[in-house]
Structure 1
């Protein structure tokens, strides 16, 4: 009985610590500063992959991105081409909500996306309608983007359903 309680206590501490590790404030002093509007204004390209909960790669894709800034609004047109030939487009409208916070929307985003940048990092959180085996399901995306330099950003996304990670996206951006 005591051994079971010790294991349960240990697991609780590990899960609590893991949950606390994604605090964006830890990037406060990281350079270069992210600057979402500056980075995505103009043309950029991206490529990445989707993995399922086991880590198996399930899809690959490329994205051509065009961004236009008008005051406190960034419009991003993303044209996706997947490895199976599927082509889709997502158009984001992102509004600056303060100096380092953003609110975004797109057709396949449920509600609003909320983002915050600190140092070289940007975190986006939103719900997304995903088609799985022919049926739409809503999953939560937790996007972490990191600016490497003038031209490069990388993105790691956790995909969750009912709080459980069901997939991951790895994506790399390059300014054109």
Structure 2
């Protein structure tokens, strides 16, 4: 009986974690997502982190400076959290020949990958998350949506072992 219950749980987990939006669904959505064009120069974002129960656990503001040099975008992100903590992440993002993107940053494990279709960008990477003195590797699945010339929305699913353990919601303004 326990084996059957475990098998059912595993099947449901696989089905639920394999369901995700398809980037191609945004091919006719406008305005088109120009990653380098949007982030060249200064922008600001406001966001929050929620845990698996949807409880808000952190709020923050991010000041962003982007510099484009050919097929490379360098994003310097300065975070200020509601509790006074500050952090900085510097992304180096390369546009590949096929139009997709790869990026690196100090707290990112390996290489982030991204692709744009229509007004959407899907950006995926593994992240070293520090919580109460412990470090956890989690997977980030970022979906950014271009609203208009000056605004972006960003929804991020944070997963551990295929299970969503939190979300991040961000609003960007150019």
User: TM-score of the superposition, structure 2-length normalised?
Assistant: 0.91
Alignment partner, residue 148 of structure 1: 147
Q: Where do residues 131-142 of structure 1 align in structure 2 (5 Å cutoff)? A: 131-142=130-141
Long gaps (5+) in structure 1: none
Aligned to 1:108: 107
Shift of 1:78: 0.2
2:165 matched to 1:166?
Answer: yes
Q: 1:99 to 1:147 in 2, by over 3 A?
A: farther
Q: Distance in 2 between matches of 1:54 and 1:64?
A: 28
Match of 1:93 in 2: 92
- Any conservation in 2 of the 1:46–1:173 contact (CA below 8 Å)? yes
Aligned length: 168
CA deviation after TM superposition for structure 1 residue 16, in Å: 3.9
Contact 2:17–2:163 under 8 Å retained in 1: no
Whether the aligned pair in 1 keeps the contact of 2:17 and 2:162 (CA below 8 Å) is: no
Q: What's the counterpart of residue 40 of structure 2?
A: 41
Aligned residue for 1:57?
56
Contact 1:100-1:118 within 8 A present in 2 as well:
no
Once the two structures are superposed, residues 35-77 of structure 1 have per-residue CA deviations (whole angstroms, 9 ceiling, x without a partner) of 1000000000000000000000000000000000000000000
**Which residue in 1 is equivalent to 2:18?**
19
1:83 to partner: Cα distance: 0.3
Q: 1-side partners of 2:126 and 2:158: how far apart?
A: 9
In structure 2, what is the Cα distance between the partners aligned to 1:61 and 1:77? 16
For residues 46 and 85 of structure 1, the distance between their equivalents in structure 2, rounded to whole angstroms, comes to 16
Q: Is the 8 A contact 2:154 2:170 kept in 1?
A: yes
| Corresponding position: 1:119 with 2:129 | no
User: TM-score, normalised on structure 1?
Assistant: 0.90
Structure 2 alignment gaps of length 5 or more? none
- After TM superposition, the runs of 4+ consecutive aligned structure 1 residues lying more than 6 A away are none
Distance in 2 separating the partners of 1:157 and 1:100: 22
| Alpha carbons 1:77, 1:91 under 8 Å: kept | yes
SS of the aligned residue for 1:26 comes to helix
